[in-house]
Structure formats: C-alpha cells, structure tokens
Amino acid sequence: QVQLVESGGGSVQAGGSLRLSCAASVFTSRTYVMGWFRRVPGQGREAVAGIDNNGSTVYVDSVKGRFTISRDVSANILYLDMTVLKPEDTAMYYCAARCPSTLDLPTCLLSKRFYDWGQGTQVTVSS
C-alpha cells in the first residue's frame, strides 16, 4: 500500500493560483499511474487529471489549459499546478495512486479504480 499525503490547499480569489502536492510514502516509480480528483459536498468524486508511466497526461475538459499535473519521481511527489482558478474549482482535492495495469489512463480516471487515496486538501476559490 502507498500512503499519500496532500498539501497546498487554501483559500484564494478567482484568477489566483495554487500548487497542490501529494507526497507518497514509498517509491512511486514511473510505472504507477497517479491522478488528482476532487469532490464537492453532496456530489461524487470527479477526476481532474492523471499521469501515466510514460508521462502522458489527461485532463477533464473544465481544467484544460489551466491545470498541469506533473511528478517528481526522485522525490516521490505528485503535483497539480492550478491557475486562473474559478469559484467552481472549489472542492476537496485528493490524489490517488496505482490503477490496475490492464486499464489505460483515461479508464483509470473514469472508473476511479485506484488502490491508494490520500485524505484530501481543501481548495476554496472566492469570487
């Protein structure tokens, strides 16, 4: 099991930026698919972005061009750089790691079939 700890959330005004970090307890290696999800109270968990072992990335349409997912393999950290934040980006953000190897990245994100999840970090964007 991989333990994941998110940080970097906070309160910002619309148009602002935040960088979320997700520290993994063990070497994540380039073979792990990792992703960021978010949840608004009363709604289901939504995939935001994912990165696979080749460094390929996928984003939900609502964040394309504004958010960037990246990873520092040597430091075992996953990042989500968020810019031009909007009030509708307000949510609890979670990172996830390790998806069944038979699934491709888009399917991993749609199915949410990750083995490891962090506790989340809150992002609040005010208008």
Tens of pLDDT along 41-56? Answer: 899 999 999 999 889 9
Looking up tokens 């309160």, which residue turns up?
A: 11
Average pLDDT, integer, range 84-96: 97
Give the pLDDT confidence score for residue 54 in this predicted structure. Answer: 87
Give the pLDDT confidence score for residue 71 in this predicted structure. Answer: 92
Three-state SS for 111?
Answer: helix
Report d(CA 14, CA 110) in Å as an integer.
Answer: 28
Give the pLDDT confidence score for residue 27 in this predicted structure. Answer: 62
Report d(CA 56, CA 74) in Å as an integer.
Answer: 18
* Phi and psi at residue 86, to the nearest 5°: -120, 155
Give the pLDDT confidence score for residue 75 in this predicted structure. Answer: 85
Give the pLDDT confidence score for residue 109 in this predicted structure. Answer: 96
Contacts of 79 (CB under 8 A, 6+ apart): 19, 20, 21, 22, 68, 69, 70, 71, 72
